[in-house]
Amino acid sequence: MRSFFKVLLACLFLTAAVWAQEKDQPKKPADVRFSPELLDKTIDPCTDFFAYSCSKWQAQNPIPADRSSWGRFNELQEQGEYIVHDILEKAAVERAGRTPAEQKIGDYYASCMNETAIEKSGTAPLDPDLKSVAGLKSKADLTGEITRLHRKGVNAVFSFGSGSDFKNASQIIAELDQGGLSLPDREYYFKDDAKSVELRQKYVAHVQKMFELLGDTPAKAAAEAKVVMNVETGLAKGALDPTSRRDPQKIYHKLSNQELAGLAPNFNWNTYFDGVAAPHFDSLNVVEPDFVKQMQAVIDSVSLEDWKTYLRWHVVHDNAAILPAAFVNEDFDFFGKTLTGAKQLRTRWKRCVEYTTNDLGEAVGQIYVERTFGPDSKTRMLAMVNALEKALGQDIQNLPWMGDDTRKQALVKLAAITNRIGYPDKWRDYSALEITRGDAFGNSQRANQHDLQRRLNKIGKSLDKRDWPYPPMTVNASYNPNQNNITFPAGILQPPFFDNQVDDAMNFGAIGAAIGHELTHGFDDEGSQFDADGNLRDWWTADDKKKFEDRTSCIKDEYGNFTAVDDLKLNGKLTLGENTADNGGLRIAYMALMNTLAGKDTAPIDGFTAQQRFFLGFGNIWCQHRTPERTRMLVTVDPHSPARFRVNGTVTNMPEFREAFHCPAKAKMVSENACRVW
Ligand SMILES: [Zn+2]
C-alpha cells in the first residue's frame, strides 16, 4: 500500500475566516466501522462483491468537491487531520515554555496560515532564485545553478539522494535518479491518443499562465511555455516508465564516479557533489544510465537562454503552493482540476496541516502518538502479525508447486522479516532546522534543504533500520525489500482497519489482509528477487522460478483484462506485485483466522457466519471511488489496481469465498481457472 505520489512540499491558500466558519467535522471512529446497513441487498454478492459491499457507501459518501477520490482510507486520514490540526493550533499560540518541537511545528503552521503576509510578499521570495537563474553566463554555470536549486528543493533536471546498495543492503550509497519533469510520468510526454494530446496542450497553456503571473507578456510567456515543454520532453526521453521501475535489475547500476563522468562528461559532478555537501564517495547507484546520457544530450542541444527558461519555470512551479493566491489557484486549475478532476481547492488549514506534516512529520507525529496510541494497541497488533506470519509459514510449507530447496530459503526469508508497529524507536532530529514565524517561503526552503542533508548524510554509513519512511499518522503500510521489514504506522491501526470492538473475523478480513498483503510483498515478482538480508540475490531454483512466473502470469493476464475507465485497461505488469500481494494477503489472513477460530464457538453475527464476516471486513476497507480523470492518471502510474478489482479480482480467486457465500459454479465471482501464487 505504498503511496507513490509526489506531494507538494509547502503551503497553499484560503482565508483564515473560512476555516474558522467551517462546520464540518470528521466522522467518529464508530461511524467508519462496518455496518450491515451498508450492504446492498439488491445485489448478489456472488455477482459483484464490490458493489454488494460498497455501492451504498458510495451513494452515501460522494467524492467531496476538493478531492479526486474518496474512500475508507480518506475518512480515517481526515480524522487524523483534525487531530493534527488541533495539535498545530495549540502549538501555534506564542507563549513561554513551548518545547523546541512545538515552536517549529507551531510557527511553521502559523506562517503557512498567514495569507496576509504571503500576499504582501508577492513574488519577492522568488527574486533571489530568479535573479540567479537570469545571471547565468554560460552552460558551464548550469552545474552550480542546479546545485543551488537542489539544495532548496527545486526539482531541476535530475534528482540526487541516497539509498541501500541493492547487493549490500546494510550499506547506504549515493543514488542519482531521473527527475526534472512536471507531469506525473514520462508517458505523458509521448502518448498520442486524443486525451493525452489535449492534456499536453492544457499543460503548455498552464505554464504560459504561470509565466504571465511572473509579469511576462502573453506572447513571451507562450514562447517560454513551448521551451519548457521541449526541455522536459527531451529529459523524458531518457526516463524509465513506472513498470520498468518495478524491476530491480533495471534500476540498479553501481558505477564509479569516473564511469558516471563518462555518461555526462560536460557536467561537473565533483562540483555538484561538493556543492550539495554530500560526504565523499567513489561509487554510486546511477538508477538509469540512459537518463544521464540523455540529460547530457539535452544540455548540449538546448541553448543557454532556453535552460534559463526551464529553470525559471521550476523555481515558480515547485514553490507554487506557498506563493500568493493567484499562483496557487492557477496551479490547482491544472494539477488539481484538469489532471485529477477535483473541483475545488482544499480549505487552507487542511493544506497547511499537510505541508507542516510533510516538512516536520515526526515532530508532529511524536505528539500525535502520545495522544492516540497506547501500548495495548501495539501488543494486540503484534499478536495479529504473529498469527499472519505463522499462516504464511504454513502456506509456504504446503505449496504444491515449490521444491524443497526454494521452500527452505523462503522460510528463512519469512523468519527474518521484522515488524515495525506504531511509531519509530528513534525520532528525527530537527534541531538544526530554523523555522521563523512569518516566513512561510523560507521555512519551506530550509526544510527542503534540511531534509536533503539528512538523506545525504547517510551516504557511506550503515543502514539505520530505525528510520521510518513516513510519519506515524500516515494511513498506509509498507514492505521494504531492502530491509525485509513491514511498517504499520499508528494512523492505520484504527477502525475500520483495526478495531478492538469487533469480532476476530472482521479484523482478520481488514487489518489481517493488510498485514498479509505486506508480508506477501516479500514474495511478489519484485520482492522475491531480494533475500532474507534485503540483498538482490537469486535464491530460487530455475525450475521453481519458472513455476512462480507461470503463476504470476495468470494474475498478470487476469488483471490486464479489467477495464479501468472508458476503453482503458489495467496494466497487468505494472500492477502485478500489488495484485499478487492482495491475493496472497487475503488467503493467509483467512488461514490465520481459521487457526484462531479452531475449536471456538462462532455463532453468526447480524446473520453472517465468521467466514462471511471475514470477506465483509475485507470489502468494507476498500470502499472508495475516484473521478474518471484520476482513474485515467493512476492507470498509467499507480502499481495498485482500482478498489473494485482489488476486491472482485481477489475474491474470485478464492474458493473459500465461493463456499462462504454458497456461490453457484457459474457465478461471476467464481473463476474456473482461479489464479494462485501464494
Ligand atoms: Zn502493496
- The per-residue pLDDT for range 106-165, each reduced to its tens digit, is 999 999 999 999 999 999 999 999 999 999 999 999 999 999 999 999 999 999 999 999
pLDDT in tens, 331-374: 999 999 999 999 999 999 999 999 999 999 999 999 999 999 88
Beta bridge partners of 115: none
Backbone angles phi, psi at 511, to 5 degrees: -65, -30
CA of residue 354 to ligand 1 center, whole Å:
23
Q: What is the per-residue pLDDT across 267-307, written as a single tens digit (0 to 9) for each?
A: 999 999 999 999 999 999 999 999 999 999 999 999 999 99
Q: How far apart, in whole angstroms, are the C-alpha atoms of residue 267 and residue 460?
A: 23
Task: Specify the 3-state DSSP secondary structure of 42.
Answer: coil
Q: Yes or no: say if 271 and 143 are a contact pair by the CB < 8 Å rule.
A: yes
User: Looking at the predicted structure, is the pLDDT value of residue 23 above 50?
Assistant: no
Give residue 490 CA to ligand 1 midpoint distance, Å. Answer: 18
pLDDT value for 30 = 62
Judge whether 656 and 670 are in contact, CB under 8 Å. no
- 521 CA distance to ligand 1 centroid (A)? 7
- In angstroms, what is the span from residue 516 Cα to ligand 1's centroid? 10
Region class of 573: left (phi > 0), else alpha (psi between -120 and 50), else beta: alpha
pLDDT at 222 exceeding the cut of 50: yes
Residue 504 a catalytic site member: no
Q: Is residue 275 a contact partner of residue 147, using CB atoms and an 8 Å limit?
A: yes
Residue 3 confidence (pLDDT): 31
Question: What are the pLDDT digits (tens) for 439-449?
Answer: 999 999 999 99
Burial grade of 553 (CB within 10 A; 0-12, 13-18, 19 or more): middle
Residue 601 is predicted with a pLDDT of: 82
Beta carbons of 620 and 53 less than 8 angstroms apart = yes
Residue 646, helix vs strand vs coil: helix
Q: Give phi and psi for 40, each to the nearest 5.
A: -90, 95
- In the reported structure, the alpha carbon of residue 1 is separated from the centroid of ligand 1 by a whole-number distance in angstroms of 4
pLDDT given for residue 24 in this prediction: 59
- pLDDT, one tens digit per residue, over 586-636 is 999 999 999 999 988 889 999 999 999 999 999 999 999 999 999 999 999
Distance 2 CA to ligand 1 centre (A): 6
User: In the annotation, is 518 catalytic?
Assistant: yes
- Which three cell numbers, joined as nine digits, stand for 355? 505541508
Give the pLDDT of residue 378: 87
β partners of residue 164? 172
CB-based burial, 264-275: b 16+ in 10 Å, e otherwise = beebbbeebbeb
**Residue 472 pLDDT exceeds 50:** yes
C-alpha 246 – ligand 1 centre gap (Å): 12
**pLDDT higher than 80, residue 25:** no
Contacts of 498 (CB under 8 A, 6+ apart): 377, 380, 381, 492, 507, 510, 511
Q: Which of 175, 212, 524, 582 is catalytic?
A: 582
The pLDDT mean for the chain works out to 94
- Window from 24-33, 45-54, 310-319 with minimum mean pLDDT: 24-33
> Given 115, 129, 354, 518, which residue is catalytic?
518
The pLDDT confidence band at residue 179, using thresholds 50, 70 and 90, is very high
Distance from residue 581's CA to the centre of ligand 1 (Å): 6
> Residue 19: which of 71, 66, 68 has the closest Cα?
66
Query: DSSP string of 193-254?
Result: SHHHHHHHHHHHHHHHHHHHHTT--HHHHHHHHHHHHHHHHHHHHTPPPTTGGG-GGGG--E
pLDDT tier for residue 18 given thresholds of 50, 70 and 90: very low
pLDDT, position 16: 31
Q: How far is the CA of 398 from the centre of ligand 1 (A)?
A: 24
The CA 186 to ligand 1 mean position distance, Å, reads: 23
Please give the distance, rounded to the nearest whole angstrom, from the Cα atom of residue 518 to the centre of ligand 1.
6
C-alpha cell at 403: 521444491
pLDDT at 1: 31
Tens of pLDDT along 65-86? 999 999 999 999 999 999 999 9
Q: Is the pLDDT of residue 255 over 50?
A: yes
